[in-house]
Amino acid sequence: MYKTIKIEKGLYNLSGKTFSQALEAMDPSENYTDEALRKMDAFERQLKRFDIKVNGVNADKVDKFFQSTESAALFPEFVRRAVEAGLNSGCVNKITAAVSVSDGVDARGIVLSDGDDEYAGSAVYGGELPKSSITLTSSAIALKKFGRVVNAPYEAVRQQRIDVFAVALRAVGAKLAKAVEKAAVTALTSGVTPASMSGGTFNYAELASFWGSFDKAEMNTIVCSPATAAKILAFDEMNKAVLPAAGCGTVTPFGAEIVASPAVDDKTLIGLDRNSALEMIRGGDVIVEVDKLISKQSDAAAVAVNVGFSAIDSDAVKVLAIAK
């Protein structure tokens, strides 16, 4: 079936469907008994159909996408996926508890509040139970656009290997991820009063004390600047018990993963329970300028993503002011 469906740029403009979803609707993966074809998604099957090799030692050149009008229509989705891969390579996923999708330019998040009630202890028989309230945010959260214009004239990239071109596109996505990280950090720290250290020097004892200050949540993540992360890694206690972690960070002896981000200044350390602290709201997939990417006359095309953040549980985030 995948060899006969009609590919056209109009598939990018269907209401409520992405290009990949439109392809999948026309060419469902579940219809295949061949294991290799079933493991591919509909877009990957189209790459196979037009014999476009996007990685490996035999990767084709970018010009291979433009062997026909149908194969050219696959190029914007290839660009989107490469940029998306770079975007997801950042540390934002390490500090968000959930990802939501909104069709609008803004959205309402939820807020968990326990008031002054404590979870410790039992309720008196016949008495009222402590209350937790889940409400909407007091105002809508605007989704901000993070994007870049990619200057890549067709004549300059047509003879480049597709996998090498994808490396550059992933780097563009990684730069977008850094900008998104900054928005996430702002949402985490907004309205949070920083705690002060007990002494004048930032050391392991201060870090452990900060971890111990979490009484209604678990501090399983530390977000700090690369310089502060370097200080923590230099603590003698870390040298004795440092554990490698998959992804962006290193795990402390008490189980909190260190996420180094340039979005945090050198005088601030953020502790959070990543399971309940922050919601990321996305306005859909990465957006690419389809017409410009399909046209071989284009010198530049924009890629962008709309993202907003909403703090969920105030008990899951604390900030420590570092003296020096």
User: Which residue from 232, 283, 285 is spatially nearest to 257, judged by alpha carbons?
Assistant: 232
Least confident residue range of 47-51, 152-156, 187-191: 152-156
pLDDT at 174 over 60: yes
- Note the pLDDT tens digit of each residue in 8-45: 999 998 888 899 999 999 999 888 888 888 899 999 99
Return the bridge partners of 282, or none. 101, 307
pLDDT of amino acid 248: 54
pLDDT at 121 over 60: no
Pairwise pLDDT comparison (255 vs 184), residue with the higher score: 184
> Rounded mean pLDDT of 273-278?
95
pLDDT of amino acid 300: 79
253, two tokens: 């002896």
Instruction: For tokens 């962006």, name the residue.
Output: 248
> Rounded mean pLDDT of 176-186?
94
In 10 A of CB 248, how many CB atoms? 18
- Note the pLDDT tens digit of each residue in 133-145: 888 888 889 999 9
Pairwise pLDDT comparison (156 vs 122), residue with the higher score: 156
Least confident residue range of 23-27, 100-104, 173-177: 100-104
pLDDT at 318 over 50: yes
Amino acid identity for residue 319 in this structure: V
pLDDT band (50, 70, 90) for residue 246:
very low
310 and 277 in contact (C-beta within 8 Å)?
no
pLDDT band (50, 70, 90) for residue 225:
very high
Distance CA 97, CA 322 (A): 26
> Rounded mean pLDDT of 53-60?
92
pLDDT band (50, 70, 90) for residue 194:
very high
pLDDT at 217 over 50: yes
